[in-house]
Amino acid sequence: MLKQRYYPDNRSLLPILSFKQRGQTAGTAHLQKWEIRLNPILLAENSTSFIDEVLPHEYAHLLVYALYGRVQPHGKEWQQMMEYVMNLPAKRTHQFDTARSSTKQYRRFTYQCDCQTHQLTAIRHNRFQQGKAQYHCRQCGQILKPIVDSTTSQNFESSR
């Protein structure tokens, strides 16, 4: 039974394609925007299978939304769309090697509490530096304090 119908603003069935997806995720469907976001690194490394698997997977999400409204992301409606309309297996995840797309080396900053040292991401470090956040150790509950030594002081200075 159809719950509601959604039509893109321009009445087109062709979604917007963007290449903003990062990390281990191959693609995502943004239902209200009628947009599919694709991971450009995984696309470049797995072009044929990416196009054969990921694009239909995400497009099926949009079509199901157009026909049924909000339903379970990989529920029976989506599975039927994949199997009977797309003529593809209804697989929820991809099997691409994500080593290159997810191993970007992020700068880490060393902080310390009473019981151990912690590695904070640049985002958390910047929030601390700007006075917008404090971080606590999950074990001892102490507020984390930055460790500044000769090897890390350049990182702290360049991040300000």
Catalytic residue ranges: 58
Characterize the bridge pairing of strands 35-38 and 16-18. Answer: parallel
Question: Order of strands, edge to edge, in the sheet holding 108-112?
Answer: 117-121, 108-112, 145-146
3-state SS class at 66: helix
The answer to whether residues 71 and 78 touch, using CB atoms and an 8 Å cutoff, is: yes
For 117, half-sphere exposure in the C-beta direction (CA atoms, 13 angstrom radius) is 8
- Amino acid letter for position 4: Q
3-state SS class at 32: coil
